[in-house]
Amino acid sequence: MILVTGASGHVGGELVSQLAAQERAVRALVRDPSAFEAPPGAEVVAGDLNRPGSLTEALNGVDAMFLLGGFADMPGVLAGARAAGVRHVVLLSSRSVVGGDPENAVVAMHQGSEAAVRESGLDWTVLRPSGFMSNTFEWQGQLRAGDVVRAPFAGVPIAAIDPHDIASVAAVVLGRDEHHGQSHRLSGPAAQRPVERAEILAKVLDRPLRFEGQPDDEARAEMLGNGVPERYVDAFFRFFVDGEFDDTPILPTVEDLTGRPPRTFEDWARTHADAFR
């Protein structure tokens, strides 16, 4: 049995679907099972990673788990997993930890989660992807209102990855002894700026989209107004304005582990086009 935490999220949802399609025993952990539509063959169970005591039922009979990082008591979650008999944990981290400054809140969050996994006594594998193509969903509201996309960090290219590909790698490594103790850095197939993604999305949607870079002060105010904690807003600006993090390197890991190239942004956009219409 494989437990997938964050099953209602972009990576977790893809992973549950892929494991179920492979007819592997999979259990989806969500806060509200009534709001989650599981694929055929998948179990669904309620639980909250911020409350390790709520995971008892979810962990029963689990051999391996896909784990999100950054929760309040990662050691407690992992101790519960070990006590329940879980043998292997695959952690979703970020490649920003590689050479990252621990004073940066995003780096510190992922470094702390990785340390908890390494010290848990469980066999572990860490996935360190680049930024997600699915962050483009942040443009949905603007595209419902018109054809102008405004986004921050306009000059910053990112080798963004489709969450489908992260899930495909996770499906390969879960429960596989040869990946124990390994950290895999992942990326998409091309480093693109927001304007390039907007151009591709315009082609897919057949709409005359126009991209405008958002001034830094406006972007900061908008993030804070949307409830992003200030320490994380500061972290993003350290990454993409101060230049602390280069998310452009293109890596062969997805193809090496899955046997196929990573999906392009156009692939992602065509798959999710209806979300922008």
Mind listing the pLDDT tens digit for each residue in 169-221?
Answer: 999 999 899 999 999 999 999 999 999 999 999 999 999 999 999 999 999 99
Taking CA atoms, 187 is separated from 29, 53, 57, 149, 240, in Å, by 26, 35, 34, 24, 17
Output the pLDDT for position 21: 97
pLDDT for residue 42 is more than 90? yes
pLDDT for residue 107 is more than 90? yes
**Threshold 0.85, pTM exceeds:** yes
Q: Pull the structure tokens for residue 79.
A: 């101790």
Average pLDDT of the chain is: 96
Q: Pull the structure tokens for residue 46.
A: 């309620």
Output the pLDDT for position 46: 96
pLDDT digits (tens, 9 = 90+) for 209-268: 999 999 999 999 999 999 999 999 999 999 999 999 999 999 999 999 999 999 999 999
Output the pLDDT for position 277: 87
Output the pLDDT for position 13: 97
Place of tokens 């990573």: 262
Cα–Cα distance for residue pair 31/50, rounded to 1 Å: 10
Closest CA to 63 of 215, 185, 175: 175
For the CA atoms of 223, 228, 234, 237, what is the dihedral angle to 10 degrees? -40
Stretch 7-29: mean pLDDT:
97
